[in-house]
Amino acid sequence: MLRRKIENIYRLGVKELWSLWRDPVMLVLILFVFTFAVYSSASSAPETLNNAPIAIVDEDQSQLSQRIVSAFYPPEFTPPIMIDQSQVDAGMDAGDYTFALIIPPNFQRNVLAGRRAEIQLNTDATRMTQAFTGSGYVQQIVMGEINEFVQRYRGSNAPAVELALRARFNPSLDKSWFGGLTQIINQIAMLSIILSGAALIREREHGTIEHLLVMPVTPAEIMLAKVWSMGLVVLVAAALSLNIVVRGALGVPVAGSLGLFFAGAALVLFATTSLGIFMATIARNMPQFGMLTVLTLMPLQMLSGGSTPFESMPVAVQTVMQAAPTTHFVKLGGAILFRGAGIDVVWPQFLALTVIGLVLFAFSLARFRKTISRMA
């Protein structure tokens, strides 16, 4: 009896894989989210400064002003464009550069004499993210060059206390390390919900669900087949993306065990595929399922700790999101991939994912049985 159930689950799962293979839209979606979406998200993070155009008006033509000009270079800024005072407004209006730094005459002389020295920074605030982040960068760079120049000129002694900054797990502070791996984690949850839900709705729209009702299979076998088949597709795609795109194209090192990470991914796939099937039983067609997916994925991705630190959210949100599988998967994935954690560290997340997965599967199975009974 058990052997027959396992064979039914296996054969129904193979049927799901063949149905997915004949769906070019879903195949393109899988290819896109695990290649281009991962690469672009890792290499172009909007919250960081990257190739911001800057122009400089150097009316002082001094050693200090030249030091300031040479301090701006890629990847944070493009090589500075040297312009005249009369070109500032026109260039800002045309959007040719985000920042325009004006160094007035006698700037170095005033600095060395201890007199009030002013420098003007014009910022195009319509480019809000770059303007906010870049203004701080510019101020830090300018003040750093001024302080270093003054110390060398006056021959002052070095401070008795020196601050040594050590960045762990990402010593080069490369944003692609975080962006690439986090995107893999987010895409696993997103794609598993879409594939499992779309598989059920596709059968309902094509009329093949009625064929299953007359076969000697149970709702649990049908649902388990969808869970393992769609979960396997996402797991294989994620493994290829992690090794080819993240580790290969982006050159991001992985600190921990990939086997342990994908074991956690299998648990979260069990939960999210069950959630996708539950949503598909509520939606009547694919457009409705798409709307439900948007309403579900947005809070899952934004409030699970993958985009912003989980600890910075309100306590009420943190409490509610403990019931989301993605919250524990983000913690698990970050601990393993970034910090090289073992099972002794991430076992609470494994346990939480197991419980959440069983609860979601039970709810989805009950809803699935009810839906099938209505169709019968």
Domain ranges of the chain: 2-44+171-375, 54-154
- 75-103 confidence digits (pLDDT tens): 788 899 999 988 888 888 888 888 999 99
In whole angstroms, give the CA distance from residue 147 to residue 152. 9
Q: Where are the beta strands (DSSP E) in the chain?
A: 54-58, 81-82, 99-103, 120-123
Q: pLDDT band at 126, cuts 50/70/90?
A: confident
pLDDT tens-digit series, residues 272-320: 999 998 998 888 888 888 888 888 888 888 888 877 777 778 888 888 8
DSSP state of 78: P
Q: How far is CA 126 from CA 48, 56, 80, 131, 157, in A?
A: 16, 19, 20, 8, 43
Which residues on neighbouring strands pair with residue 101, listed in sequence order?
A: 56, 121
Mean residue pLDDT of the chain comes to 83
The 3-class SS string of 302-332 reads HCCCCCCCHHHCCHHHHHHHCCCHHHHHHHH
pTM across the whole model: 0.73
Radius of gyration of the chain (CA): 28
The predicted structure's pLDDT at residue 45: 56
Q: Domain spanning 54-154 has what CATH number? A: 3.40.1710.10
Q: What is the pLDDT of residue 111?
A: 86
- 371 has a pLDDT exceeding 80: no
Asked if 59 and 73 count as a contact pair (C-beta separation under 8 A), the reply is no
